[in-house]
């Protein structure tokens, strides 16, 4: 093989490698489209639905639950670093999938004030979806809820905190960071179920393994909070 043939073969190999790389990126890279910062919820759904929805709908089909579900719940376990996905099927709740939490800040115990980096504990609702989050995608919780505000006012804590999200990436300053792949699925699921039909229960640990016990020095009302969480968690009886 002369020098010219070698150059031709190298050129062909380079062209094939470039084509293969392009095909792989087309199949597996999820570029933000349109430009991040200007996309809508519908843009996100349109972009990820063809990639994710076949897999998500199969998960529901395998456990005999209709998709999209009428109601879903996320059961977050701080100590276990997990979020369980459950769906309502007529009168019962059915386990769908478990997600690992990529990052969580703080320790056992509820959030008390702005800047304490604590992840809240309690029973919450999703109140909004953010398609332009700096943490890829996110959903906002209704923290502080009525229970949180009641005891914040009682204890004269004027700044109990706000802006608590479930989001992508692996950085947390009081939120549940799920990583990008997980948040893409959860974002699409919440949009399909509609936010008013989505509950989020955040527990310090798994109450199905034993009673929740407040850490030493926690406020008196944490015991009542933990009883509320235990009662709500009864529907997640795996």
CA pair distance 131, 141, nearest whole angstrom: 15
Residue 90: pLDDT band with limits 50, 70, 90 = confident
DSSP label of 215? P
* Active site residues per annotation: 167, 175
Query: Tokens 């597996």, residue?
Result: 28
Using CA atoms, how far apart are residues 107 and 118, in angstroms rounded to an integer?
7
Sorting pLDDT into bands at 50, 70 and 90, what band is 19?
very low
Joined together, the tokens standing for residue 70 give: 């009428």
What is the rounded CA–CA span in Å between residue 126 and residue 143? 9
Phi and psi dihedrals of 230, rounded to 5?
-60, -40
- pTM reported for the whole predicted model: 0.85
Residue 6 banded pLDDT, cuts 50, 70, 90: very low
Domain residue spans of the chain? 1-30, 41-236
Q: What is the mean pLDDT of the chain?
A: 89
CB 47 within 8 A of CB 33: yes
Looking at domain 41-236, its CATH superfamily turns out to be: L,D-transpeptidase catalytic domain-like (2.40.440.10)
Give the mean model confidence (pLDDT) for residues 74-95.
96
For residue 1, pLDDT beyond 70 = no
Q: What percent of the chain has pLDDT over 70?
A: 84
């Amino acid at each position: 093989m002369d020098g010219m043939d070698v150059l031709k073969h190298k050129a062909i190999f380079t062209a094939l490698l470039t084509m293969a790389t392009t095909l792989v990126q087309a199949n597996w890279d999820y570029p933000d489209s349109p430009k991040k910062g200007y996309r809508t919820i519908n843009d996100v759904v349109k972009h990820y639905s063809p990639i994710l929805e076949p897999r998500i709908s199969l998960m529901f089909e395998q456990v005999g639950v209709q998709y999209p579900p009428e109601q879903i719940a996320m059961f977050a376990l701080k100590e276990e670093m997990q979020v369980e996905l459950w769906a309502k099927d007529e009168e019962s709740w059915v386990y769908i999938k478990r997600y690992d939490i990529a990052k969580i800040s703080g320790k056992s115990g509820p959030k008390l004030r702005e800047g304490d980096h604590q992840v809240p504990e309690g029973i919450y609702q999703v109140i909004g979806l953010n398609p332009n989050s700096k943490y890829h995608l996110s959903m906002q919780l209704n923290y502080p809820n009525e229970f949180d505000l009641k005891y914040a006012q009682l204890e004269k804590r004027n700044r109990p905190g706000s802006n608590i999200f479930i989001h992508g990436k692996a950085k947390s300053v009081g939120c549940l960071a799920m990583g990008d792949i997980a948040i893409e699925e959860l974002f699409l699921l919440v949009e399909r179920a509609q936010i008013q039909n989505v509950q989020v229960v955040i527990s310090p640990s798994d109450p199905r393994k034993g009673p929740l016990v407040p850490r030493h020095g926690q406020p008196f009302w944490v015991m009542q909070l933990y009883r509320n969480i235990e009662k709500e968690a009864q529907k997640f009886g795996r």
